[in-house]
Structure 1
Amino acid sequence: MTNTNKTLNTCKYDTGNTTFTIEQLEIIEEQSVDLLVNNSLLLTFFCSPIQLEALALGFLWNEGIISDLSEIKNLYISPDMARIEVSLFSSIDEHLNLMRTSTGLTVIRELEKRQMNNSFRINPEMLIKLYDEFSAKQKLHQVAGGYHSAALSDGERINIITEDLGRHNCLDKISGMFLLEGKPFAPQIILLSGRISSEMIHKAIKLTAPIIATRTTPTVKAVEIAKKYGVAIVGYLRGKQFSVFSFPERIQFK
C-alpha cells in the first residue's frame, strides 16, 4: 500500500536529560476531497489520499446511489487529488437526503425488510486467526499510528484490506475495491480496527456480510440494528478473547 505519510521535524523531550532534541517522525496526511456527481457537489471526504476511486464508488454503492458499476459513465480524479468527478448515465435525486452521523454521512433510507439470508457461521479459532492476520497487515498504522483499517473476508482468508484516517472511509473503500474486482467472492466477515457504529451495520448489510468484528466496542444503536437484521457483532477481540453482542449463533463453538 502506498505510504501517504509526511515526515516532519519534531522536538522530542527526554525526562532523563531534560532537553529537547530534533527528531523526524512520519505524520498522517489528511486530504479534503470533493465528490461531484453529475457536476453537482455531493459531499467532501476528509480522508487519506489513497484508493480514491474505490472510496467514491464504495460510498455511492453503499448509499444506494448506484447499484452497479455499469451505471458509471466516467470517473475522473484531479491531479491534486482534491476532486473526484463522477458522471452517471442517469440523474440522481436532487433532494437526496444525507444525514450526518458520528463518523460520516449516510443516506436516510429503510433497510431490507427481512433478516439477512446468509447462514454463514465460523468457529472462534478461525475468527481469531483472521483478526490476527488483519492486524499484522496494517502497515500504515505500524509506521505512523493513527490509521483505521477495515478488511473483507470470505471466512477463510483476508481478501481485501485498506487503511484510512476515517473508519467510515475504510468501509467505503473495501466496498469499492470489492466492486472494482468484480465481486469475486462471497463476503462473510468485516474486520475493523475501531468502534462499530450504526452506519457500519448498514454497510455490512449492503455487503451481505453477516459478521462484523473489532478490537473495540459497538454502539447501542449498532447492536439494535444488528439484532434486527441478523448481523453478529464481535467486540473486544483481543488475544484469545472476545465478546459477542448479537447473534451468537453465528459463532460455531465445538
Structure 2
Amino acid sequence: MQLSEKDNATPYLIAPDPAAPRLTRAIEGVDHTGARQSISVVEERPLTIFLNSREIVTAMTIGDYPEYLAVGFLRNQGMLSDTDEVTGVDYDDDLETVVVRTAVETSHEEKLNKKTRTSGCAVGTVFGDMMEGLEGLTLPKAQLRSSWLYALSAKVNQTPSLYLEAGAIHGTVLCQGDRPLVYMEDVGRHNAVDKIAGWMHATGTGAADKILYTTGRLTSEMVIKTALMGIPVLASRSGFTAWGVEIAREVGLTLIGRMRGKRFICLSGEERVIWDADPDAVPDEGRKHRRKSAEG
C-alpha cells in the first residue's frame, strides 16, 4: 500500500477507541486525601491462539482485534511464513479463542519443542526462532526526517487513547512519513506490535517505507519483531536495553528512543536520518501527556 502526499492529511486507518465499553471498567477507591474516587481501569482477558488443531499460547489482552493479534503473533514467532496460505481466521468470543487455519500443515510442532522462552509482557515468545529469522536479513535503505519524528510524536501524543485515559497499557503505531496510520494498544507491548503485524498481513501493506512508534521500552524482542516485519525504523518515548541496541546495529535498524518534547537520541542506523528540523521550534508537551506517560 502506497500513500500520496494528499493522503497524509487523512485520519488514522485504525485508531484507539477509549470509550469502547469492553476495554475499561470503572472501579472505586480512596485517594490520598481519603476521598472516594472512581477511575477507569483497563480490562484484561485471556485469548487462546490455535494454529490449525494445535494450541499455541494463551495471551492476556484487552480483547480488541483478536484476529490481527493471532495472525501477527504467529508470523512474528516464525510459525507462519510468507509461503503459508492462511485459509481462515475464526474467533469465538464465548470461548475466547482464535483458530488460524492454513492450507497445509506448518512446521510449528518442531518450533514448539525448543525450550528457550521469554516472559515478555503478558505473553512469552519463542526467542530462538526469532533470532534465527534475523540471519541474512537486510532492511530497506529508507530515509527518515527528524521533522517526521517531531510531527509523529505530537500527533500520537494528542490522539485520544486508553494510554491517556487509563494508563497501564502500551501503544504501538505504524507510520509512514509524518502520518500515523494504525494505532494499536494492549496490556503487553508485544501484543500491540503483533496486532499491527496481523493488520499488515491482512491488508498486504508493505514495510519498506514505514516507521514503528511505540510507547514501550526498546528491548531485544521489540527490535527483533520490528526487523522481522521488515520495518527499517523503530522509535519510542521510552529507553533502550543494551542488547536491543546491539541487535539493531547488527541488522541495520534505525533505533530512536527517549523521544520527549524537543529531544530524542538515535543509537543505531543514524545514516538514515536527515536533520531537517529546528528543535527550538518544537513546542513543549502538554502537562496531561507528561502525567499520563509517567504513569504508563
Same fold by TM-score greater than 0.5:
yes
Q: TM-score, normalised by structure 2?
A: 0.78
Check if 1:40 corresponds to 2:50. Answer: no
Once superposed, what is the RMSD of the aligned Cα atoms? 2.0
Q: 2:41 aligns with which of 27, 45, 60?
A: 27
1:222-245: CA deviations, max 9, x gaps? 111110110011011110111111
Retained in 2: the 8 A contact 1:187–1:208? no
Aligned with 2:59: secondary structure? strand
Question: Structure 2 regions of 5+ residues with no counterpart?
Answer: 1-15, 277-296
2:140 alignment partner, SS class? coil
Quote the offset at 1:153 in angstroms. Answer: 1.2
Instruction: Describe the shift of the 1:51–1:219 C-alpha distance in structure 2 as closer, same or farther (beyond 3 A).
Output: same
CA contact (8 A) 2:218 2:239 kept: yes
Runs of 4+ that moved beyond 4 A: 184-187
Matched, 1:60 2:74: yes
Name whichever of 186-195 and 89-98 sits farther off.
89-98
Equivalent residues of 1:152, 1:187 under 8 A apart: no
Q: Which residue of 1 aligns with 2:151?
A: 129
Judge which range, 64-73 or 115-124, deviates more.
64-73
Deviation at 1:81, TM superposition (A): 5.9
Deviation larger for 68-77 or 174-183 = 68-77
1:83-109, Cα deviation, whole Å (9 max, x unpaired): 112222221332223642241313523
Could you say which residue in structure 1 is the equivalent of 2:216?
194
Q: Which structure shows the bigger proportion of residues in strand conformation?
A: 1
Alpha carbons of 1:212 and 1:42: their partners in 2 closer, same or farther (altered >3 Å)?
A: same
Alignment CA distance shift 1:12-1:54 (3 Å):
same
What is the match of residue 288 of structure 2?
A: none
Whether contact under 8 Å (2:24, 2:43) holds in the other structure is yes
Counterpart of 2:28, as a letter, is N
Deviation at 1:70, TM superposition (A): 6.6
**Partner secondary structure for residue 108 of structure 1:** helix
What SS does the corresponding residue of 2:111 show, helix, strand or coil?
coil
- 1:53 to 1:234, Cα distance in 2 relative to 1, 3 A: same
Q: Decide whether aligned partners of structure 1 residues 27 and 69 sit closer, same or farther in structure 2, where only a CA change above 3 A counts.
A: farther
1:50 pairs, out of 60, 64, 71, with 64
- Structure 1 residues 186, 230: closer, same or farther in 2, change over 3 A? closer
The aligned counterpart of 1:17 is none
How many residue pairs match? The answer is: 249
Matches within 5 A, 1:71-220: 71-80=85-94, 82-93=96-107, 94-97=109-112, 99-103=116-120, 104-109=124-129, 110-114=132-136, 116-137=138-159, 139-183=161-205, 186-220=208-242
Amino acid at match of 1:9: E
Give the C-alpha shift of residue 69 in structure 1.
9.1
Q: Partners in 2 of 1:130 and 1:148 — Cα distance?
A: 16
Structure-2 change in CA distance of 1:70 and 1:51 (3 Å): same
Residue of structure 1 in register with 2:250 after alignment = 228
- Paired-residue identity, %: 27
SS of the residue corresponding to residue 60 of structure 2 reads strand
Aligned letter for 2:184? T
Q: Is the 8 A contact 2:218 2:241 kept in 1?
A: yes
CA displacement at 1:183 relative to structure 2: 1.2
Residue 27 of structure 1 deviates from its aligned partner by: 0.6
CA contact (8 A) 2:245 2:267 kept: yes
| TM-aligned CA deviation for residue 184 of structure 1 | 5.9
